[in-house]
Amino acid sequence: EAQVTQNPRYLITVTGKKLTVTCSQNMNHEYMSWYRQDPGLGLRQIYYSMNVEVTDKGDVPEGYKVSRKEKRNFPLILESPSPNQTSLYFCASSPPPGGVYEQYFGPGTRLTVT
Partner 1 sequence: DAKTTQPNSMESNEEEPVHLPCNHSTISGTDYIHWYRQLPSQGPEYVIHGLTSNVNNRMASLAIAEDRKSSTLILHRATLRDAAVYYCILRGNQGGKLIFGQGTELSVKP
Site of interaction with partner 1 (CB under 8 A): 4, 31, 33, 35, 40-45, 48, 50, 56, 58-59, 90, 92, 94, 96-108
Task: Report the residue number, 59 or 79, with the smaller CB distance to partner 1.
Answer: 59
CB of 87 to partner 1, least distance (A): 14
Cβ pair 73, 22 in contact under 8 A: yes
Residues 98 and 79: their CA atoms lie apart, in Å, by 31
Task: Report the residue number, 65 or 104, with the smaller CB distance to partner 1.
Answer: 104
Task: Report the residue number, 76 or 92, with the smaller CB distance to partner 1.
Answer: 92
CB of 58 to partner 1, least distance (A): 6
